[in-house]
Amino acid sequence: MRQDVDEQHVDPITLEVIRHALAAAAEEMNVNLVRTAYGPNIKERRDCSCALFDAGGELVAQAESIPVHLGAMPYSVAAVRKKIECFGDGDVAVVNDPFAGGAHLPDVTFVAPVFFGERLLGYASSRAHHSDIGGKSPGSVAGDATEIFQEGLRIPPILLWKRGVIREDLLDLILANVRTPEERRGDLQAQYAACVTGVRRMVALAQRHGAEVLTGAMQAIQDYSERRMREQIRRIPDGEAYFEDVLDDDGRGHRDIRIAVRVAVRGDGVCVDFRGSSPQVDGPINAVEAVTASAVYYVLRAITDPSIPPNGGCYRMLTIKAPRGSIVHALPPAAVVGGNLETSQRIVDCLFGAIHRLCPERSMAACQGTMNNVTIGGADPRSGKPYALYETIAGGMGGRPRSDGIDGIHTHMTNTLNTPVEALEIAYPLRVVRYELIADSGGDGMYRGGMGVRRDLMPTAHTAHASLLTDRRTHAPYGISGGQDGAPGENLLINGNTQATPLPGKVVLELRDGDVLSIRTPGGGGLGPIGMRDPMARERDRIEGRVTAKRVGVGEISLQTNEDGERSVR
């Protein structure tokens, strides 16, 4: 149980030393995971997260990595603590079940207890998105799934390492159910190494400062974050704001799936109520409770002070109401892989829309609102072995107070990188035919939305199985305060004769040798009246290719050059 130690029992200097040491340990865990992973999705895109927890399962430090991972990891730790009663030194549990603390099946979470002698200090945890965990489609992100059993191997909380020794029979069971067992083995070992790093660093802190001081410091750090967060909430005017937006479809015939949210601020407390959201659907875009909580945590952090240490104390003033059986709190056997990926993004869009009505200076226009999930798999003609590519594709960031949105970036609930062209073409029998920013895709405004991205992929010398799980193909990312919407995305199949066939946002298809899968991602919404944009910024947009001459309206402006060669816009 948590020790009831007031922070006055830990001197301020020691408290800061321990706080930064815990944060550094979480970052070191993440670095070790990235450096030792086998799969490009982890070692190149860095689709992984690490964190440390106290003995009560409360978050005390995290690596600054993937928001949709970090907000849900406390649910995984809670599920492991509930299921595994006799946790011992050297044990490591694994879980990916979305209905038992997970988020979606490709995200595999490790939880390792940290003991100092006989005393439980806390837990070290790592989560990584594995590019295949079985299921009906290579990459385990099936755009046409209707139940979780089609999405991959479902692992409840179980011990995979016992007293430091791996349970080979359970590992064999996992590897027998995936398409790329060698890669999975390497990535699972990398997650284990990350947890060992966290365990060692926390034990070293106990050796240096004493277990009582460390335990008291972990409590004090959370209390400190709570106080600072409550102070930030008090600066937001009291009131309620409602906002709703929709997901395009679920890939199974249901369209305009509503996410409704009411945000109420009273003093230093916040209530986020999702009543009115659509019931869970047939397709794979249902979000489990942990994913919805992750999105709320992220937005709360984004609108307050980023220097507040991220831990469980940040969310003590928060109440979340998500109706069971809804799109934001799905129940089994719902298909949920896209809830983590797509619905989480729409929840964020709705929350920022509501926040804009309460305090516009803390909000922003909609970002691309999708992760543009692409999975491609088959038999690699170079080796004859199965392969599975999974990646998300960047898009436009929404316009922000005092700043344009960023072009071609992963936003909000994903914080990953792109898969470098060179790494992709070495690892997979695929070619990146085209990769570029899309002019005119960002919404116009006083502050322009960022540009979306075009990424064209082609299988080489084989037929591949592909799945797309994307959104914002029908409903564009919204602009705010007079800004224009960003351009919606588009998916196309271009055959050998260069004939382009539009594809749905959620689709499974075969790619023949020479076919090109073209994904064009949405741009971000604009912020503020179009007429208030700096004319120099408009000219810069044209010169740098963000807009075409038609879009920028060059007929309405003229360039003037003075005797010193300096240019200005009239």
Q: Out of 228, 249, 265, pick the residue that ends a domain.
A: 228
Q: Give the amino acid at 172.
A: D
Q: Are residues 472 and 551 in the same domain?
A: no
* CA 338/CA 141 separation, integer angstroms: 8
Q: Are residues 136 and 111 in the same domain?
A: yes
Give residue 563's pLDDT: 47
Average pLDDT over residues 236-265: 97
Check pLDDT > 80 for residue 478. Answer: yes
Q: Are residues 482 and 554 in the same domain?
A: no
Q: What are the start-end ranges of the H helices in 210-309?
A: 211-234, 289-302
Q: Does some domain include residue 397?
A: yes
DSSP-assigned letter for residue 517: E
Residue 499, CA atoms < 13 Å, CB-side half-sphere? 3
Q: Are residues 544 and 489 in the same domain?
A: no
Q: Are residues 491 and 544 in the same domain?
A: no
Q: Which domain holds residue 554?
A: 534-570
* CA 307/CA 202 separation, integer angstroms: 23
* CA 29/CA 374 separation, integer angstroms: 28
* CA 218/CA 204 separation, integer angstroms: 15
Average pLDDT over residues 337-365: 96
Q: Is the peptide bond before 333 cis (omega within 30 degrees of 0)?
A: yes
* CA 519/CA 513 separation, integer angstroms: 18
Q: Out of 174, 203, 228, pick the residue that ends a domain.
A: 228
Q: Does some domain include residue 481?
A: yes
DSSP-derived 3-state class of residue 492: strand
Q: Are residues 505 and 545 in the same domain?
A: no
* CA 104/CA 336 separation, integer angstroms: 6
Q: Out of 185, 201, 228, pick the residue that ends a domain.
A: 228
Place of tokens 């999105």: 295
- Is 72:95 a contact under the CB 8 Å cutoff? no
Q: Does some domain include residue 307?
A: no
Q: Are residues 538 and 410 in the same domain?
A: no
Task: Please give the structure tokens belonging to residue 512.
Answer: 């023949």
pLDDT digits (tens, 9 = 90+) for 517-567: 999 999 999 999 999 999 999 999 999 999 985 544 322 323 333 444 333
Q: Does some domain include residue 190?
A: yes
pLDDT digits (tens, 9 = 90+) for 37-52: 999 999 999 999 999 9
This prediction has a pTM of: 0.92
* CA 7/CA 236 separation, integer angstroms: 27
Q: Are residues 105 and 81 in the same domain?
A: yes
Q: Does some domain include residue 359?
A: no
* CA 101/CA 154 separation, integer angstroms: 12
Check pLDDT > 70 for residue 490. Answer: yes
pLDDT digits (tens, 9 = 90+) for 144-168: 999 999 999 999 999 999 999 999 9
Provide the domain count of the chain: 3
